[in-house]
Structure 1
Amino acid sequence: MPVTLGLGLPQLKHHVLGRDVAAVARAAEEIGYESLWVFERVLFPVPATQGLFGVPGVPWPDTYRGVADPLVTLTLAAAATERARLGTSVLVAPLHVPFQLARTLASLDAASGGRVVAGFGTGWSHDEYAAASVAPFDKRGAVLDELLDVCAAVWGPDPVAYTGELTTIAPSEVGPKPARPIPVFLAAAGPRAKRRLVDRADGWMPVAMGARELTREWRHLRELAEERGRTRPLDACVRVNARYSAKPYEGDGRQPFQGSVAQIVEDLVAHTESGVPGFLLDVQTTTRDAAELIDVAAEVYTAARAAGV
């Protein structure tokens, strides 16, 4: 069975938000992409107090300068499309007030006819936490747990009531409700996060890590789910941050999903052998504008489907 393919929406500063999001979203749906995705980056510290992903000495990419708000972007895409699912890959949970985020996602799902996929993570940037978080960095797992609780309550039947460390909801009617149960995906890298995923979430949302490692991690997650008594299927969607170039990458040192359309598709074919059911392709960092993003997305989609993906 072919895997599902999604496309990352244009959020970077070289795009015109009000024009390009709708154009890319409509084109992606027409091409055949089943889902549209956004990511979250709230600031670009100058200078950064820590390296990219918390790794000392690794600079933040310039593409992180001025990333559009993910939920505004997704709302623009919802208004321009009819069928594609609308996903977050991912929202940094502790940067949001749980009750407000749960209500916003419910409203977006209701407005879009039941198309939202809520991908959550805990982030890594201490600068973002200092500016916007609802709790300290060392409480990030507890905040994610509370967000999951609050979403379940707010998206469920009225009256809604909840008491937690950050959130107190007196018995209340809270609407609108989602059009259907919103799938929750988690990034989940460490052992505790993986247990949370198999116990509480609908799916896994990793970043592409190489075909062999992806196969190993996906197998491990499914084994963990069986060990912990999970009975419902575990879904997954892998984020592919592709580094597209018009010419093939030559020489040693090519990373997965780096190079021409043919090389990107070659890597996609290899990664699908893991059995993971979904992938989202983000090419916005290495395409000049929305027109090129659409062209590359169309070429990749056509070539991938022709290759049996």
Structure 2
Amino acid sequence: MKVGITLPNVGPQATVENISYIARRAEHEGFDSLWTIRRILWPIEPQTPYLVTSDGSLPKEYQYVLDALDVLAYVSAITNNISLGTHVEDMFFFTPIILAKRFVTLDVLSNGRIISGLGIGWSKDEYQASNIPFNNRAERADEFIFIMKKIWTDNVVNHKGKYYTIPPSRIDPKPIQNNIRVYLGGAAPGTFARIRKFGLSGWIGALVGGWEYVEKIIEGIRLSNDNGNKDHNKFQVIMVTFPNIIDNQSSSSNNERAPFTGTIDQIGEDINRLKTMGVEHIVFNYNFVPIGKDPLKVIEVSKELARFTK
């Protein structure tokens, strides 16, 4: 199982010093990947409730956000080998050509280390601020991904579709990778169909619900791939987790505790559970728990948890 860490590009911990420390230490310690988060605003009165919180409000950490792709560009310059990804980049805040070019630029600057985690978003406020209609998102996503892949692979790009148009053009450079790895976030059936349709690298999820919910999604993905005759050797599941270390958590409450909340050993059991579910790449995100404010603690706890991934 590969192991990644989400960089502190949100909240009060989003400083150059913290980002630099975690990026350099993560690579030195042998972690596989570093990730960033996309948010463009924190609505005072959200039109779309945030499903993770009881009152529908976004975490206060989202009030202060450094741009996900710009942070990766900075980190690419201070690291050499570790992979760099987005979980996830909301594609519609860009046009296909601009986002494709930004990922290619990152891939060239990092010498082929970019992982593109993409989603279609959920916040009506962010759509409104981006001047993008909230309806027909699935259809728009299909066209968006189709264009991006053409830009990354075709010598001449020519597209006239329902939502986007590109006149016959040379759009270079191409990625250092043969094709940038693309993972889609989201839990709708259309997401999994889109992964199959475009031959994408896999699915990137977030462990924010109970185990039953996550297991059902992953089981559905595997079944969907079986029906689509997709090459299982190329398809991967990446899971973003939110470790919340509670040193005095009683083992007797193991069946009732939230996933990835508890002692190091209890969270280790959760990691093993993800392994049995077929998760190939786990990402530790500490931006919304107390540990996230201490970059030294982030690295040390990640090292302790990483031993359960072997």
TM, length-normalised to structure 1: 0.89
Q: CA deviation at 1:225?
A: 1.2
CA contact (8 A) 2:11 2:287 kept: no
Larger deviation, residues 214-223 vs 20-29: 214-223
SS of equivalent residue, structure 1 residue 87:
strand
Structure 1 unaligned residues grouped into runs of 5+: none
Q: CA deviation at 1:149?
A: 1.1
How many residues matched? 303
CA contact (8 A) 1:269 1:304 kept: no
Q: 1:60 to 1:24 in 2, by over 3 A?
A: same
Aligned to 1:295: 297
Aligned to 1:281: 284
Q: CA deviation at 1:5?
A: 0.6
Q: Which amino acid aligns with 1:167?
A: Y
- State which of 112, 115, 122 in structure 1 corresponds to 2:113: 115
Q: Which amino acid aligns with 2:10?
A: L
Aligned to 1:177: 174
Q: Which amino acid aligns with 1:93?
A: M
Q: CA deviation at 1:19?
A: 2.6
Aligned to 1:235: 236
Aligned to 2:129: 131
SS of equivalent residue, structure 1 residue 284:
coil
CA contact (8 A) 1:7 1:280 kept: yes
Q: CA deviation at 1:287?
A: 3.6
Structure 2 residue 144 is matched with structure 1 residue 147: yes
**CA distance in structure 1 between the aligned counterparts of 2:248 and 2:184, rounded to whole angstroms:** 33
Aligned to 2:257: 254
**CA distance in structure 1 between the aligned counterparts of 2:260 and 2:42, rounded to whole angstroms:** 25
**CA distance in structure 2 between the aligned counterparts of 1:300 and 1:258, rounded to whole angstroms:** 14
Q: 1:289 to 1:270 in 2, by over 3 A?
A: closer
Aligned-CA RMSD value: 2.3
**CA distance in structure 2 between the aligned counterparts of 1:66 and 1:276, rounded to whole angstroms:** 31
- State which of 3, 6, 13 in structure 2 corresponds to 1:5: 3
**CA distance in structure 2 between the aligned counterparts of 1:226 and 1:198, rounded to whole angstroms:** 10
- State which of 154, 157, 162 in structure 1 corresponds to 2:159: 162
**CA distance in structure 2 between the aligned counterparts of 1:258 and 1:237, rounded to whole angstroms:** 19
Q: CA deviation at 1:234?
A: 1.1
Q: 1:228 to 1:288 in 2, by over 3 A?
A: closer
Q: Which amino acid aligns with 2:9?
A: Q
**CA distance in structure 2 between the aligned counterparts of 1:83 and 1:238, rounded to whole angstroms:** 21
Aligned to 2:205: 206
SS of equivalent residue, structure 2 residue 51:
helix
User: Any idea what the Cα deviations from partners look like across 1:121-162, whole Å, max 9, x if unmatched?
Assistant: 1111111111115x3111221222122111111101312222
Q: CA deviation at 1:76?
A: 1.4
Alignment of 1:81-100 (within 5 A): 81-100=79-98
**CA distance in structure 1 between the aligned counterparts of 2:193 and 2:54, rounded to whole angstroms:** 28
CA contact (8 A) 1:27 1:294 kept: no
Alignment of 1:13-24 (within 5 A): 13-24=11-22
Extract structure 1 runs of 4+ deviating beyond 4 A. 209-213, 250-253
Q: Which amino acid aligns with 2:229?
A: G
Alignment of 1:72-87 (within 5 A): 72-87=70-85
SS of equivalent residue, structure 1 residue 43:
coil
Larger deviation, residues 276-285 vs 296-305: 296-305
Q: CA deviation at 1:236?
A: 1.4
Structure 2 residue 43 is matched with structure 1 residue 45: yes
TM, length-normalised to structure 2: 0.89
SS of equivalent residue, structure 1 residue 82:
coil
Structure 2 unaligned residues grouped into runs of 5+: none
Q: CA deviation at 1:110?
A: 1.0
Q: CA deviation at 1:288?
A: 5.7
Aligned to 1:221: 221
Q: 1:56 to 1:139 in 2, by over 3 A?
A: farther
Structure 2 residue 266 is matched with structure 1 residue 268: no
